Amino acid sequence: MAAVDAPTSEETIALFDQYVIPNYRRYPVCLVRGAGSAIWDAEGREYLDFFPGWGCNLLGHCPPRVVDAVRDQVGRLIHVPNTWYMEAQGRFAEALSKRSFGGQSFFCNSGAEANEAAIKLARAHGATSKKYKIVTMEHGFHGRTYAALTATAQPKYHAGFEPLVPGFTYVPHNDLEAAAAAIDAETAAVLIEPIQGEGGIRLPAAGYLEGLRSLCDQRGALLILDEVQTGLGRTGKWFAYQHYNIEPDVLTCAKALAGGIAAGVMIARREIAATFKPGMHASTFGGNPIACRAGLAAIETIDQDGLLDRAGAIGARFNARLEAIRSAHPDLVREIRIKGAMIGVELSIDASKIVEMCLERRLLVNATHVNVIRLLPALTILDDQIDRGCAILAEVVAKIAG
Ligand SMILES: *Cc1c(COP(=O)(O)O)cnc(C)c1O
């Protein structure tokens, strides 16, 4: 509950206008407290959150085990640099390795940084055989730092920031022939999201990831999977690649990695990880004890509460509700794309109107790629909350349909 003398949303907005760089489009609401899939603003209004923390709050707002682990850790040790050993980082790396492909971890603080690390590792690994090119997919998203931005094959994010990093090649997504033409003897790596998130929840075509894997093997390129959005259980498996018949050489994860605490990781096969010698790459805050304790608590929560299976059930329930909306309004709602708790609703109109109408009804959803509503609900969401939010969506769509 907001304290009596706590600032109003309006007062906080005035502070931002004065002192915060306006590089985000923000809704005029100041959020103060959350629990699970509910969140409250400074005026005490409650919202139902279908997009908690932009996918970072995979376990909902303030998941109890994560809160307890962080509270305990800040009283012991807040930060120690990577010139020392710390138990939590070792245990977190072990937990991630055992849930993926047995690789080793480099820790950082965000998705972009994890992808920077992966791109640097791929270039360093390919250097002796003169491999430097990085192939990425159109409509992909890999972050805003320079190499991650260059890897992001969307002109709207590049505008104004040229010249970009040399050596990147873009191919259409889900087009194996185009990839085969682009991957050559100088290709160090192919970097791809197994499911495109920001690009509108685009699932891989049958055989596409498997095809990329064999192209990489044939031509001596690494396969890097950007699981910044899909990783740590979002899709119903620990990592999305586990739905397909492949393993990557390198994987990146961030967003949901540590229960909402800032954290990123690059996991690489041991032989490839060995390319990084002491001093070649670093992150001051990477793998700090708070983030690693939070990550371990997130993994424990998913394990003990059976949340990987729950992701599948959440996807199925959303699918039933959203398909009903689509069949009632087929010319407005074109397609539903779902993998676990990763949900895209493609419309024939701009989705931002729907986001605003949902906000008026205190339901938080996201619009991406112009005409796609993106939902990344918490794995702890209740059936009743799914039904309530979908009823709001149905009402909004019906209202727009007239
Ligand atoms: C969000 C995202 C990133 C960037 O992560 P940041 O933590 O914002 O740097 C990279 N890749 C994918 C797939 C993402 O969804």
pLDDT of residue 151: 98
Region 163-188: what's the mean pLDDT? 98
Q: Which atom of ligand 1 is nearest to the CA of 227?
A: 13
Mutation test residue for ligand 1: of 202, 227, 229, 252, the one with most atoms within 8 Å of CB = 229
Band of residue 4 on the pLDDT scale cut at 50, 70, 90: low
Reduced 3-state DSSP string for the chain: CCCCCCCCHHHHHHHHHHHCCCCCCCCCCCEEEEEECEEEECCCCEEEECCHHHHCCCCCECCHHHHHHHHHHHCCCCCCCCCCCCHHHHHHHHHHHHHCCCCEEEEECCHHHHHHHHHHHHHHHHHHHCCCEEEEEECCCCCCCHHHHHHCECHHHHCCCCCCCCCEEEECCCCHHHHHHHCCCCEEEEEECCCECCCCCECCCCCHHHHHHHHHHHHCCEEEEECCCCCCCCCCCCCHHHHCCCCCCEEEECHHHHCCCCCEEEEECHHHHCCCCCCCCCCCCCCCHHHHHHHHHHHHHHHHCCHHHHHHHHHHHHHHHHHHHHHHCCCCEEEEEEECCEEEEEECCCCHHHHHHHHHCCEECEEECCCEEEECCCCCCCHHHHHHHHHHHHHHHHHHHC
pLDDT of residue 190: 99
Percent above pLDDT 90 for the chain: 98
* Cα of 148 from ligand 1 centre, angstroms: 9
Instruction: Answer whether 9-63+306-401 and 77-304 agree in fold.
Output: no
* Cα of 94 from ligand 1 centre, angstroms: 23
For the chain, domain boundaries: 9-63+306-401, 77-304
CATH of 9-63+306-401, one of 3.40.630.30, 3.90.1150.10, 3.40.50.720, 3.40.50.300: 3.90.1150.10
Region 272-283: what's the mean pLDDT? 98
* Cα of 283 from ligand 1 centre, angstroms: 17
* Cα of 229 from ligand 1 centre, angstroms: 7
Percent above pLDDT 70 for the chain: 99
Mutation test residue for ligand 1: of 107, 119, 255, 257, the one with most atoms within 8 Å of CB = 255
User: Average pLDDT, whole number, for the chain?
Assistant: 97
Active site residues: 141, 226, 255
Mutation test residue for ligand 1: of 198, 227, 241, the one with most atoms within 8 Å of CB = 198
Which pair of structure tokens corresponds to residue 237? Answer: 């498996």
302-318 tens-digit pLDDT:
999 999 999 999 999 99
Q: How far apart are CA 265 and CA 69, in angstroms?
A: 19
* Cα of 114 from ligand 1 centre, angstroms: 9
- As a residue count, the chain comes to 402
| Whether the predicted pLDDT of 3 surpasses 60 | no
Band of residue 5 on the pLDDT scale cut at 50, 70, 90: confident
- Long-range pairs of 125-128 with CB within 8 A, sequence gap ≥ 24: 125/188, 125/222, 125/272, 125/275, 126/188, 126/189, 126/221, 126/222
Q: Tell me the Cα Rg of the chain.
A: 21
Pocket residues: Cβ below 6 A from ligand 1: 110-112, 115, 141-143, 193, 197-198, 226, 228-229, 254-255
141-157 tens-digit pLDDT:
999 999 999 999 999 99
Class of 77-304 per CATH?
alpha beta
